[in-house]
Amino acid sequence: MLPLSRFATALLFSATTLLSVSAMAEEPRYNHIALRAEVNQEIAHDLMHVTLYSEAQDSDPAALAAQISQTLNASIAQARTVKGVSVSSGSRNSYPVYSENKGDDKGQQITAWRERAELRLESADFSALSKLTGDMLQTLKMGGMNFSIASDTRKTHEDALLKAAVAAFKARAQLATEALGGSGYKLVSLNLNTGGFQPPMPMRMQSMKGAAMMDAAVTLEIEAGTSQVSISADGVIEVQMP
């Protein structure tokens, strides 16, 4: 057991330490400035996406499903022969077709079934995919076409923009420090946020027939467009006054 004097000294030291830590935690911080810097860039789309579909109607749902599957399997095999084009299955659904029997207590009757299944194609080779699309429109219909930025391309540009955003924030922080007459600044916090890359509106071409699309593809110029990429730097600095 500690002597009373030593115990009192230890207790006083502990209390003093706690008060010191508490004072440091509650010490107000002055000359804080919130700043924001943003950089952006237009990036060309380098991926082309095409959605094709097969749609049919039959009174026998099993026969209808077999017909759709046969068409899609043949189209998938065709797409796989083109280098640089990836193919995947899209949505597939079927629904009954009703006929109204007026005056009949049984109400509506199912007279047939209708089914639709999608096939999605993607490639960085716009020319190859355009030609393949024209060929496949002999048996399928056009659901839509759109363009995007590949993941590797996006990451490369994001990395470059991130450095530019930090540099822009530092320049703005220095400008604010000089405007206040400060001798320097400390970085309190910094958040980097990525924006942009909104997918473009797809080009809808459901009304075009296969032959018409193939004729148009001879002279059609593919314009993929661009998306704006932005990175913002939001932070707080503490200006040091002389």
Do 42 and 159 belong to one domain? Answer: yes
Q: How far is Cα 87 from Cα 133, in angstroms, rounded to an integer?
A: 12
Average pLDDT over residues 84-107: 82
Mean pLDDT, rounded, of the chain: 82
For residue 111, give both structure tokens.
């007279």
Do 34 and 119 belong to one domain? Answer: no
Q: Is residue 119 part of a domain?
A: yes
Q: How far is Cα 193 from Cα 40, in angstroms, rounded to an integer?
A: 12
Number of domains in the chain: 2
Asked if residue 78 has pLDDT above 50, the reply is: yes
For residue 115, give both structure tokens.
């089914």
The residue segments making up the domain with residue 71 are 48-148
pLDDT in tens, 148-180: 999 999 999 999 999 999 999 999 999 999 999
Do 234 and 154 belong to one domain? Answer: yes
Domain final residue pick, 129, 148, 167: 148
Asked if residue 202 has pLDDT above 90, the reply is: no
pLDDT in tens, 206-218: 334 444 444 444 4
Do 153 and 209 belong to one domain? Answer: yes
Asked if residue 130 has pLDDT above 60, the reply is: yes
Express as a percent the part of the chain with pLDDT over 70.
74
Average pLDDT over residues 108-137: 94
Sheet of 85-99, strand order: 85-99, 109-123, 47-58, 141-148
- Look up tokens 């082309």; give the residue: 48
For residue 32, give both structure tokens.
């804080």
Q: Is residue 219 part of a domain?
A: yes
Where residue 224 falls among pLDDT bands split at 50, 70, 90? confident
